[in-house]
Amino acid sequence: MAATKDSYAIISLGGKQYRVREGERLLVDRLKTDEGKTFNPDVLFLGGDGDGTLSPQTQVTVKVVGHVLGDKIRIGKRRPKSGYRKQTGFRASLSQIEIQSIGGTAKRTSAAATPAAQKETPAPKPKAETPAPRPQAAPAAAAPAPASPPRGYEDFTVADISEKSKRWKVEQLEAALKFEKKNANRKGAIAALESALVAKQEKN
């Protein structure tokens, strides 16, 4: 809906709503905007000529004429039969505003850059040629995996170990002995493993 002479708007200021027309002046709660400056409040409704638009994309321009104090409100206190009487006063902090115009499309915060601004943007400088990366040395050969006890060693009895250890390799015997000392610590198994290991080393 386009704004006309008879158009009015309902704006929101400081949590309150005001019905305004162009050229009107009114007092509102104190604003943070400095005197003489303009701003654009939120427009909730635009009406006129028997028509209305809810949440319109219309801009209302408001000028802060000045910051003033409201009329003094007197507050009296007294207590009967005691002679106590006290008066205090209060003046609200207000701002006088003037509605300069109703109309125009509200500004978008994410406006696209103008062609002129795009032209002014300097072209990126060409990057200097980077030297070719040096060939990396071939990774060192992976260290051999540490020997482990024969499969199912944890379930072997001392008798099983005494019988089967004679057929195990030196690495398996050493791993089994290390495992036995760290976990089970069975004297018979340790003796059988040490005996088999000594026998293997003597053969070699």
Per-residue confidence at 112, pLDDT binned at 50, 70, 90?
Answer: very low
pLDDT of residue 108: 47
pLDDT tens digits, one per residue of 10-29: 999 989 999 999 999 999 99
Query: Burial level of 46, CB count in 10 A (0-12/13-18/19+)?
Result: buried
Q: Which amino acid, one-letter code, is at 33?
A: T
pLDDT of residue 144: 56
Q: With CA atoms as reference, report the closest residue to 165 among 186, 185, 190.
A: 190
What does the alpha-carbon distance between residue 59 and residue 7 come to, in Å, rounded to a whole number? Answer: 13
